[in-house]
Structure 1
Amino acid sequence: MAGLYFAFDVGVMPGLEGSDDRTFVTVMQDVNRAIENGLFGLVFVGAFLATGVAATLHHRIGHHRIARLVWAALGCYSGMLLVTTRVNIPLNTRLARAGPASTTARPEDLRDLRERFERPWRNANTARTVLCSIAFGLLCRALVLHGRAR
């Protein structure tokens, strides 16, 4: 998930920055529709569940230091879920409800839609990138310790 959010931070959103409002809204609507699929959902929820299971199992077998790292990673991932559900999803929903950009006749409407979407969405996405990157780092450290514990 960190990689996906990072790609948006450094590639997708900067790439769209110079586009006109109609193109920006159309692309973001298309991306949001495309990403709502079973495979993405499986990875999105699966990462959370797998991390929780790993933390629980390490705790149960007495690897408390590893378990703490994995619980901390789960906390970061939970923070990402909170940002996603409180900021990104509502913004995506608002963008979708505006209808296809091609049918929005007034350029002012597109500009307003973009202005209310772009900055908050990018800020929230950066927060998701940071949280998932920290979680990934914690899980890497836990994996190293797990290898040493064997």
Structure 2
Amino acid sequence: MFALRVTALIAATMTTGLTAGVFGLYQHTVMTGLGRTDDRTFVGGFQALDRAIINPWFMFSFLGALAFTIAAAFLNPGRQLLPWILAALALYAIVFVITMAVNVPMNDALKAAGDPDSIADLAQVRRAFDEARWTAWNLVRTLATTAAFGCLCWALVMRGQFR
């Protein structure tokens, strides 16, 4: 049982950290770089990135962070670890809701606009996407997943002290 408890906690920590890294990279690099491009490049580039991110690597991290953190909470019920794991779970649940309620619908709307070569008013499509809103919510996701990662790291430290 010890190995299963530790494995769940390590898996939760790693997948949460990977997801925090993805959101952080979008925050400080991808959106900053795309923001400096013309409308055609922004729309086409974002559409391509959004299609590419739906892959087994990302989905394992994004969904795994939630699943493994839930598993870690059930498998590590001790009062020393559980508050940290539950804090991470609450933070990640917020991230999951934001992703599904804000970022994914915005991404889907931009993809639904069609091929940039067939869009008559690319500037309007870009304005309708609202980069500032997307980036603001992504910042919340970045900070929350990073905080969740920190909570899980601390739970691992605590786990090492209280076997």
User: How does the TM-score come out when normalised to structure 1?
Assistant: 0.92
**For structure 1, which runs of at least 5 residues remain unmatched after alignment?**
none
* Aligned residue number for residue 79 of structure 2: 64
What residue in structure 2 maps to residue 131 of structure 1? 144
Q: Residue 65 of structure 1 aligns to which amino acid in structure 2?
A: Q
Distance 1:127 1:112 in 2: 26
Root mean square deviation of aligned Cα: 1.0
Residue equivalent to 2:155: 142
CA distance in 2, matches of 1:18, 1:24: 8
**1:38: how far off?**
2.3
CA distance in 1, matches of 2:84, 2:128: 37
1:86 partner SS = helix
In structure 2, distance between residues paired with 1:134 and 1:23:
33
- Give percent identity, aligned residues only: 39
Taking the aligned partners of 2:125 and 2:66, their CA distance within structure 1 comes to 32
Q: Does 2:100 match 1:85?
A: yes
Per the TM alignment, residue 68 of structure 1 is displaced from its structure 2 partner at its CA by: 1.1
Structure 1 runs of 4+ with >4 Å offset: none
TM-score by structure 2 length? Answer: 0.85
Structure 2 gaps, min length 5? 1-18
Which of the numbers 54, 68, 82 marks the counterpart of 2:72?
A: 54
Q: Which amino acid aligns with 1:83?
A: I
CA distance in 2, matches of 1:39, 1:12: 18
